[in-house]
Structure 1
Amino acid sequence: MDVETQPLAYKKERKLTRKRRKRYICLCLIAFILGLGLLCLILGLTVFKPKRPTTTVDSITLSDVDFSVNLLPLRVSINLTLDTGVTVRNPNRVSFKYSNSTCYLRFKGNDVGEVPLPAGSIGARDTRGLNLTLSLMADRLLSNSEFYSDVVSGTLPLQTYLRISGKVRILFSFHVVTYSNCDLIIDLGSQRIVNQSCHYRSKL
């Protein structure tokens, strides 16, 4: 190779080397991004996999009970309040944010009492206790014809129902809902709860 062609070949070699270096850097960058994305996906499906919050009814007690009945003419007066203790557990590694909810008191499918539950959030792997006071709306109950047959039997079947809806954000936002309902039988003579059965479920 003569003196004139040597610098030209050297420049071509350097240019080719730079192209290879850039290609190598690009491939390394792509591999890093893909590896990071794969790591996030694995963590999202294992360690940070969204879990369903759970609601548990810890206690239901009767308070401020006032019940009386006259047979001739038939006249019923009733007022009662249920103090309900509820625990909501968030098993996720991020906070659970829930929207405004309502806890209902029901008589054979009809709402006869309610209490609002303001929106809030529960921290990662944390639990929150809620004290809810459900007051019976007597006018709704007394207008139900089935109520009077229960009065004659001496028992009053009621149900509490709570639905809490919210979101858990782990890479993406996941909508979660937790439910709790308790079937109660109140003995009107002794004015106490004689039977209680609670059921829970949640969905993601």
Structure 2
Amino acid sequence: MSEIRGNSLSNPGGRYANNYISTEELIAGFPSRKREEKSSKCLVYTLAIFVLMLLIWLILAFVTSRLADPEIELKSARLMQNTNTYSNISATSSFNVTMLLHITLTNPNYVSFRYGKSTVGMVYENSSESVGASKLKAGILEAKETKDIKLTVHARFAQKNALVKVNLSDMLKLRSYAKLSGSLHMLKVLRKTTTVEMSCTINLNFTSSSNQYFQC
């Protein structure tokens, strides 16, 4: 085994006896080129994975921002026939009626929409005084799904003569409203929170137990 005299190399700790260093020990004292290459490759792979994940996240965020809001729409509203018809109720009496509402929920996206429970309410057109409400259960709208929902609203109205003074007929103008909050889920990773609202004016005909006109 060859040896190199250590006159030109300092050995302050007295590690090597008689100031002689073997060739193997001298080589071991320098960094390994393979070790440096391996460390560089690990760094490159780490950066590549980070850039790839960032790119995927940006793409998903962009797609999420382009998602459209779901829609809630009133399709029809009508009065159910009651035992005591409107014409038989005295002018000073309050009265109760039952209304049937047909509502549709539409999800125009290719991802699911999860929404919480809500309330569909009825108020007088020009005031915030409530006359009735119905609960809307929480649920899920799958991609491109339209769901038909039928609700029953039990409404209580004020004195008949007060309504006649306002409407001058057997017609009553009401406003139906609803607010639905939920989130659009994409790949169970990203989600977009959104709230959709419905506000419709309804003209109810107490004589024919139907809606004469409604607009949303």
Pairwise TM-score range, normalised by the shorter structure: 0.7 to 0.9
Change (3 A) 1:35 1:197: same
Q: TM-score with structure 2 length normalisation?
A: 0.73
What code does the residue aligned with 1:185 have? N
1:29-178 matches, cutoff 5 A: 29-46=46-63, 49-65=66-82, 66-68=85-87, 74-76=91-93, 78-108=95-125, 109-137=128-156, 141-142=157-158, 147-150=163-166, 152-170=168-186, 171-178=189-196
Deviates more, 1:127-136 or 1:141-150: 141-150
Q: Which moved more, 1:159-168 or 1:117-126?
A: 117-126
Q: What is the TM-score when the length of structure 1 is the normalising length?
A: 0.77
SS in 2 for 1:68: helix
Higher strand share: 1
Q: Provide the alpha-carbon RMSD of the alignment.
A: 3.0
Q: Aligned in 2, Cα 1:47/1:75: closer, same or farther, shift over 3 Å?
A: closer
User: How far apart, in 2, do the equivalents of 1:47 and 1:162 lie?
Assistant: 25
Contiguous gaps of at least 5 residues in structure 2: 5-21
Q: Distance in 2 between matches of 1:67 and 1:36?
A: 67
How far 1:151 moved relative to its partner?
5.2
Whether contact under 8 Å (1:107, 1:158) holds in the other structure is yes
Counterpart Cα distance in 2 of 1:35 and 1:145: 71
Q: Matched residue of 2:180: which SS?
A: strand
Deviation of the 1:86 alpha carbon: 1.3
Gaps of 5+ in 1: 199-204
Aligned equivalents of 2:3, 2:146: Cα separation in 1 = 82
Distance of 1:16 and 1:102 partners within structure 2: 71
CA deviation map 1:48-101 (0-9, x unaligned):
844311112222233225312678xx4356443221111112233432221120
CA distance 1:88–1:195, change in 2 (3 Å): same
Does the 8 A contact of 1:43 with 1:49 survive in 2? no
